[in-house]
A and B are shown apart, each in its own frame.
Chain A
């Protein structure tokens, strides 16, 4: 199907099914129950899962295939967001031109940064990208937001104001990002007994785009181009000795992954028309590295899982406070209740970083292939098969995958 082999087609179908049914899957607990705290099926978080999934898929095309660890990918995401909001401010709230421009601008930006940074490899490349990203952050945060030349609106973030020109905006259209009149915020809530499921227009736009870019990623992974990138990862020097110039390939990979980041940034602005400088900060760049490693570097689905995992912790665990804890443990005798709350307290609320850090350590130590490896292990356990010999790969080389023509 669509030029994919059977295994990849299945993967694509699974991803499509998961994204389309996410409003059901992520809201397993009835609204109003104590466990509703863990429901993640509200529009904003579902959009974030998808957007950061796209971001991580793109990052994985660079890091997973070529092994070049970029520490500055958030810069492209930020640039994408800013260009999208400028389209909103100047022309129209329709998301199509905004998203298109964000991809184009991110491509140009990543071409420039990639051209300079890819002259070095390894840690020097990482440091160069980090430097560029921090530079962009500083520019966006203060330099380009002075009152005389305000491109980014600094700390406050670029927003759309009522007195912005918006030349193609009509009164009949919603005053929010929309797709030909369909507001990205419009949500249909389905009440089923005690459950409530939210179907959000913006989310489904993101989901469709995710499926397209996921398909593109599969094609890239399986193409001769993808094979060349893997060759760069295994031994770039040998490639050079055979007389092959690898730089066009790595630069292409860098630009493609920059465009994915720009797309994610554009979508982010389309869901919520504000671009803040913080999304370019080095912590944001580090986050996507964590997502990719946590999910499984070099795998197709891994980065999406990693993105979901981290965003879930950021948004769900950070909102559990002591009052909630006391409600949960109210059945315990008073003294013990306070004690249990005292023990759990450092790991929730503002301590969500700590919980995430511990889980990250556990995953990296016990599941070096990320969540995908965990899934594979469980799969094998269920099937009762012996460990396949080809998984005995202590150095985690990228797995050989069938060529597209097979």
Chain B
């Protein structure tokens, strides 16, 4: 049998030891000498490319990774230099960043916010990455952006289209080059009005998650401003593969436009179902029935095949653009990989260059210095015309492309044609726009 002798002295002693034990590790925290998180000390600097290599957006992820490798090659002075030659800022000299050779580590986000954060954390903690970039979904981008803010590194967002990334979830350490749902709506609306008239009844099918909602909200607001009527907006589960049961009610709703707020595999399936139901041949209210896909990508167009012909949507960039920057990028990407880059590849390539350039101009890798160099930065020559990195929300403002599925594609990559280039001024919104309200940038966090 055990015997418990609790004495006053014993309790005090145990308490003191336990207290010292709890307090001990705090001594360690003060010992860090670096000026900021993962300050590069050797002859090289490590960037973390965090993209989906498995899961629904693996195709986009693979294309992003190709573009990252190309960007690193160009930064280190290899290849033909790509858009380094056309970029309006000439701070980059092809000798790495600030004279340090650029190295990179890659990780798999699996398009899950948990896995993406784990992968990003291992890059920061183990590999000493000074900047994290990537993501092919808004949920993941927002989750990783939050992590980078806490950890004190810069996050350069990849393919993320939700308003929230630079809206209610914006962070001082996060920057987005890609356009967003509001811009899609603002760019599409005038084209829709010109082609389909001001008296239309729209029916929305929306993927039931953050991006879907902001997309629906944006396009609804833009089309209702034209005078369109929203008949119904139905949420569809993200995991759905068969949309027949959602398409059937559209026929009897009296709507004459179907708007598919879907992305990736969802959009491929819902569009295919809609076309199979013969929606596009129907006449409703004496008007031709139309389908609109607010966010388009070439990889999606490829998946949907014949069905995309003539369908309107918006996109961030397309390889058929004829400005110098786009031509240089398509050329060096094509030379290396044998096919033209997607918009995902383009945006991450630009992000890498913009980050490197900001470091050069700031003369430091310190996230606060880099952030300052990016805020309010105006540049050109990266394929989207004159662009502004707005300081208020770290969102890029540039022209948006309205595209249409091509009727007679000449190759398997020539699937979209540019209908109109909507100028940046038309898609610009005030930083306190209600769709972006809530949340604040906070202050930059250099870690350490």
Contact = CB atoms under 8 A, between A and B. Distances in A.
Contact of B440 (A145, A162, A272, A314): A162
B112 A276 contact: yes
Interface in A141-196: 141-142, 145-147, 153-157, 159, 161-163, 175-176, 179-183, 185-188
Interface stretch (A39-47, A61-69, A329-337, A358-366): A39-47
Most buried by B among A147, A176, A201, A276: A276
Top 10 A-B pairs, shortest CB-CB distance: A188-B28, A155-B139, A350-B53, A44-B121, A278-B112, A42-B126, A276-B113, A186-B29, A142-B208, A155-B209
B26 interface: yes
B interface: dominant SS = helix
Nearest to B27: A188
Contact of B122 (A187, A199, A279, A319): A319
Contacts of B378: none
Nearest to A45: B122
Most buried by A among B112, B151, B438, B439: B112
A323 B147 CA distance: 26
Interface residues of A, number: 51
Given A145-B210, A321-B105, A350-B108, 15 more contacts: A42-B122, A45-B118, A141-B209, A155-B211, A156-B164, A162-B440, A163-B438, A185-B151, A186-B26, A187-B125, A188-B28, A272-B121, A319-B106, A323-B104, A350-B54
A154 B139 contact: yes
A349 B108 contact: yes
Contacts of A138: 237
A122 B367 CA distance: 55
Given A138-B237, A278-B112, A349-B106, A156 B138 contact: yes
Interface size class of B (residues with CB under 8 A): 35 or more
Contacts of B121: 43-44, 272
Nearest to A201: B25
B425 interface: no
A155 B147 contact: no
Contacts of B208: 141-142
Interface in B67-118: 69, 104-108, 112-115, 117-118
B39 to A, nearest CB: 13
Given A159-B146, A186-B29, A274-B113, A142 B209 contact: yes
A56 to B, nearest CB: 17
A345 interface: no
A372 to B, nearest CB: 26
B305 to A, nearest CB: 26
Interface string A247-282: 000000000000000000000000010101011000
B122 A315 contact: yes
